[in-house]
Structure formats: C-alpha cells, structure tokens
Amino acid sequence: MSEPNRHKGKSVLVTGSASGIGLGIVERFLAEGAQVAGFDLHETQANGVLSINGDATDEAAVQAAVDRVVAEHGGLDVMVCNAGVIAVQPVVEMEFAEWQRVMDINVNSVFLGSRAAARAMIAQGRGGVIINASSGAGRRGVPNLSHYCASKAAILMLTQSLAIELAPHKIRSNCYVPGHIETPFWGGIAEGFAKVTGQTPEAVIEGFRQTVPWGRFGTADDVAAAVSWLATPDAEYVSGQAIAMNGAEFPF
C-alpha cells in the first residue's frame, strides 16, 4: 500500500517508464508525493509525470534528460534505471548484432543513466539514490536466454561497484531483482519459449507459474513497493545490495 507524502519533495527519474514495471514505479512515486519524470521512447502516461521522450542507450539524450529534470524539478534525488529488453533465442542461432542489442539496452543504458545521475548528485552535494533493474536470470543461467542472463548479471556487479565508489558522496546504489512479473513482455516471452520448446504459449506460462511457491506471478506493484522503500531514509544503510521480489522462487 502506498504512503502519501512518503517521498514529498523528492525528484525522481525513471527510465523505461512507459509500461510494465517502469510505469508501476512511476505511479508509485507519484502516489507517494514525489516529482517524477519518465524517460522512454514512448510517452509515459501517468497523471502528473514529466514525460521525456528519448533513447536510454543514447548518451546525449540521457544526459539531456537528467539536465532537464535537475532544471525543472530543482535537482535529482532518485534515479531508477529500469529500461530493458528480453528475447528468447538459442545461443547457436544468435547473431552478434542481437547479442549487442540486448547488452546495449540492458547494460549500457544503466551505465549511462547511473553515470549521469551520479554526476548530478555529486554536484548537488546532498547525496542520492540510484536503483537499477536486474533479474533473477542474472543470478542463474537460463537456457535460450544467455544474452539476457549475462546482461542482468553485469548489472549486479555494476551496482555493487557504484555503491562502493559513490559511498563517500552519500549516494546509495542498489538493484531490484524481479522473478516472474506479469507485464506486457509476457506474450513475447511465452511465444519465444514456445518456439524453441515445442510447447504452446499457454503451457509455457503455466509451467513458469508452477515454479513460484507463492502461487502467483508478481505484479508491477510488487516491484514498485520495494523500489520505493529503497529510496526512503529507512534504507539509508542499505547499499550495494540486490533486493529480490520473486515469491520465494529463488530464495537467497
């Protein structure tokens, strides 16, 4: 349940904000009183959001988005690097261009967003929070998702390194590690696995559902609740961590 005014006075920027988990995070911070900007190729449709269109893998566009948020919202307190993509493909059939595409969107966008945010936060001199999107697939290998798994594992190490390096500036860096979350991505994921396994998309989805001890897939709200907490003073001593929301599927 959201808490009104929990983030009152804070400035938040979320990448990959137009749908799914990103939109859920935007809506959560808005409901809790923050000034929120969404950065995405598509319009971020949420009441009260500053929607900025752009490519999270474009260095100049990311810097421009951060600069605009600082100018219009009086600074940047929380950066959520959520932009990402998933694709199902056997490694022996994967073109190098596809590997590069997934790495660019999933890893390079997080580097660019984190770097731009860190520069702004250091200049402000009041600390800040950087929260990056990893995945349960970044903690263990999954057949036909080699590029996705590798990209999400990279984010874990990037986030840990940022936490140590930026701690003297009182900038915390953590990542959230979703398990199976119901988002618009699911149709494409199910079709991809159906193609390589010979199952129907419905059977693929049900098979994944049965791996979750909690008995259901997660929602964008489940993820947004954890992200919101990571941005609060209650999490002031939490940095360099990977916080999972997975219904006990991968307990660590």
Among candidate residues 29, 39, 111, 148, the one labeled active-site is 148
Contact call for residues 44 and 23 (beta carbons, < 8 A): yes
DSSP state letter for 77: -
Give the distance, in angstroms, between the CA of residue 191 and the centroid of all CA atoms in the same chain: 23
What lies within 8 Å, CB to CB, of 140 at 6+ separation is 149, 250
Distance set, CA 8 to CA 4, 35, 235 (Å): 8, 8, 16
Beta-bridge partner residues of 132: 81, 175
Distance set, CA 136 to CA 23, 140, 155, 175, 246 (Å): 20, 7, 12, 11, 8
148 catalytic per annotation: yes
What lies within 8 Å, CB to CB, of 155 at 6+ separation is 106, 107, 110, 132, 133, 134, 138, 175
Instruction: Tell me which residues are annotated as active site.
Output: 148
